[in-house]
Amino acid sequence: MPHAKKGLRLDLRTLILVLSAFTAVLMLLTSYFASYRVQRQLLIDHSLEANRVYAAKLASITDLFIGNALKQLSFSAQVQARQLADSDALLAESERVLHQSNAFNSTFVVDARGILQAVSPAPLRHLLGSQVDTPGVQEALRERRALVSTPYLSSANNLVVMLSQPIFASDGSYLGFAGGSLYLREDNVLNSLLGEHYYKDGSYLYVVDRNRRLLYHPDGQRVGTQVSGNALIDQLAGLGSGTRQLTNSVGVEMLAGFATVPTTGWGVVAQQPLAQTVAPLRQLILNVIAISAPLVLLGSLLLWWLALIIARPLWQLAAGARALDRPGTAEHLHGVRAWYFEAAELKRALLFGLNLLQERIGRLNRDAQTDPLTGLGNRRRLEFSLALLEAEGRDFSAIALDIDHFKRINDSHGHDVGDQVLRQLAELMRRCCREGDVLCRTGGEEFVMLLPGAPLEVATAVAQRLRLAVQDTAIPPVGAVTLSLGVARWPAQGHAPPADTLAEADQAMYAAKRGGRNQVQVSGPIIAPALHTH
């Protein structure tokens, strides 16, 4: 038998050495793979965040530009309101707004009937006095508020966004609006702001409106077209800002950051090809392998040394597992030097299991001493408490009590109502006693109360208080019930065993029943007459 054990130890050690070598190789490969994945994700996350920040920045700049342009038009509208009848003044103001900041490709004034009253630049002035019915003009006349129109195609096939401010007379009547237009297929300030985002790595930026129409794109031929087959664009209106890894409409995997222009609801998307983002990763991993090779050799030697001593804590824990039911096992397990993760976890699990076993044994013991109906102690609890009080030499008073005519309650109302009466009585017993008192149900309607350290006078007062509480408590549908109670004290003369004190209390209780029920009888000289109330 000893030879078999020795051989088993040698086999285990060899197995651990082989497992260690395998683990070392596996960990090495895993570390390279993890390093690749982590570095790849870092590059992706960095690119996504950079694109999101850039998109948010350009969305903010675009919003600021549109806000400033609307402010210029607001001031111009106030000026135009005072000179709407002066065509030369209207043209001069329109020309001023056009050249003030180069924000617009054209500026104009339209009256409430949709007639063009002033326009700049000069090549468009042949349209003066004509009815203008473009979607942007119709939208401005309909809304009569500061407005950035939905992008639309003009008669000259320009993709146009119109900004407008209403013109009101001093009496509040609507006179028309002052507006400015941006030709998205031509050079303007907005294109200059957005067109700076372009790199040789293939990253670029584009802008779409709420209808998925491209308002800006590095490929000018695509401006004005609607984007399809792009999940991000389909959901952009409800996303606000963020990042997304996606495949674009031409099948290229992209890393996109996006943001929304608050004023217009346009979506600004900055994106970069995934392949370009992760291209530097291969050389990075090769550098990691070259640096880690000497450390791998040193780590292999260290693993071999650890394998020689790894069996010791496992054997100690196994021995503890075989002796969970023996005294001193917990101290033995605490003494095991679990210096690596698996052993530490096994040690923790064994200690937890040992504590759980002891806790469940304690719970079973408590359940075995508890009456399931009332939650009070049962006869086992009573016997255990008596033995403990006797061992400690601690005096106590005992109260035996019984429900008067309980069988009549069961016969008249059924056992469910009888159970309800028993539970109500148990609750009243708890209210009338101290925290350290022992309350037990010893039979169908019979109960015992142990009051450690209580003199006979105190126990008699408790019994009387309980009798009155039960008498005065109506229990539907029975109504009030009554108790017969007997009180005794230990140690009595002669130092009889505690069980004799219970017998004395029981006899006093039966004396209370014979005396007419609903009363307290005391075994001893303290009270001669019965305590009762009829």
Say what the pLDDT of residue 4 is.
43
Which CB contacts under 8 angstroms, 24+ apart, belong to 408-411? Answer: 409/478, 409/481
Which residues, 6+ apart, have CB-to-CB distance to 344 below 8 Å?
A: 338
pLDDT of residue 494: 54
Q: pLDDT (tens digit, 9 = 90+) per residue, 433-456? A: 988 899 999 988 999 999 999 999
Q: What does the pLDDT average to over 328-335?
A: 75
Q: What is the mean pLDDT of the chain?
A: 83
Residues 157, 397: Cα–Cα separation, whole Å: 106
Q: Which pLDDT value is given to residue 452?
A: 94
In the predicted structure, residue 215 carries a pLDDT above the cut 60? yes
Summarised one tens digit per residue, pLDDT across range 257-301 is 889 888 888 888 888 888 888 888 788 877 877 777 787 777 777
pLDDT more than 90, % of the chain = 32
Across residues 319-343, what is the average pLDDT? 74
Q: What's the pLDDT score for residue 334?
A: 75
Contacts of residue 263, Cβ cutoff 8 Å, sequence gap at least 6: 63, 66, 67, 70, 148
pLDDT at 534: 40
Contact 516, 532 (CB under 8 A): yes
What is the rounded distance in angstroms from the CA atom of residue 470 to the CA atom of residue 25?
Answer: 78
The confidence score (pLDDT) of residue 144 equals 92
CA-based end-to-end distance of the chain: 83
The pLDDT value recorded for residue 198 is: 52
Structure tokens at 2: 């000893």
Residue type, 524: G
Residue 164 pLDDT exceeds 90? yes
Answer whether residue 1 shows pLDDT above 50: no
The CATH code that applies to domain 379-532 is: 3.30.70.270
Q: What is the mean pLDDT of residues 411-422?
A: 92
Residue 196 is predicted with a pLDDT of 57
Query: What confidence tier does 14 reach under pLDDT thresholds 50, 70, 90?
Result: low
- What is the distance between the alpha carbons of residues 475 and 5, in angstroms, rounded to a whole number? 71
Q: What is the pLDDT of residues 466-506, one digit of tens each?
A: 999 999 999 889 998 999 999 999 986 556 788 889 999 99
pLDDT confidence of 8, banded at 50, 70, 90? very low
Domain limits, CATH 3.30.70.270, in the chain: 379-532
Measured between alpha carbons, how far is residue 472 from residues 31, 405, 407, 509 in Å? 78, 17, 20, 20
Position with higher pLDDT, 362 vs 444: 444
Tell me what percent of the residues of the chain surpass a pLDDT of 70: 87
Whether the CA torsion 152, 157, 161, 165 is positive or negative: it is negative
Spatial CA neighbour of 381 closest among 397, 395, 370:
370
Q: Vertex 448, ends 443 and 449: CA angle to 5°?
A: 155
Residue of 253, 390, 445, 504 with catalytic role: 445
Dist CA 396 CA 389 (whole Å): 8
- Omega into 491 within 30° of 0, i.e. cis? yes
pLDDT digits (tens, 9 = 90+) for 130-162: 998 889 999 999 999 999 988 888 777 788 899
The pLDDT of residue 484 is 96
Task: State the Cα–Cα distance between residues 375 and 373, nearest whole angstrom.
Answer: 6
Domain with CATH 3.30.450.20 in the chain: 12-292
For residue 48, what are the contacts with CB-CB under 8 A and spacing of at least 6? 243, 244, 245, 255, 256, 257
DSSP state of 373: T
Q: Is 445 designated active site?
A: yes
- pLDDT-based confidence at 333, cuts 50/70/90? confident
pLDDT of residue 317 exceeding 90, the answer is no
What integer is the mean pLDDT of 60-73? Answer: 89
- Phi/psi zone of residue 176: left (φ > 0), alpha (ψ -120 to 50 degrees), beta? left
The pLDDT, as a whole number, for residue 18 is 73
The arithmetic mean of pLDDT across residues 501-530, rounded, is 83
Second-level CATH architecture of 12-292? 2-Layer Sandwich (3.30)
Spatial distance between the Cα atoms of 102 and 118, rounded to a whole number of angstroms: 18
pTM above 0.75, yes or no: no
* Long-range contacts, stretch 215-222, CB < 8 angstroms, 24+ apart: 215/151, 215/159, 215/161, 215/184, 215/266, 216/184, 216/190, 216/191, 220/185
pLDDT at 204 exceeding the cut of 60 = yes
Q: Residue 325 above 70 pLDDT?
A: no
Q: What is the H or E stretch that residue 470 is in?
A: helix 456-471
Coil, helix or strand for 502? helix
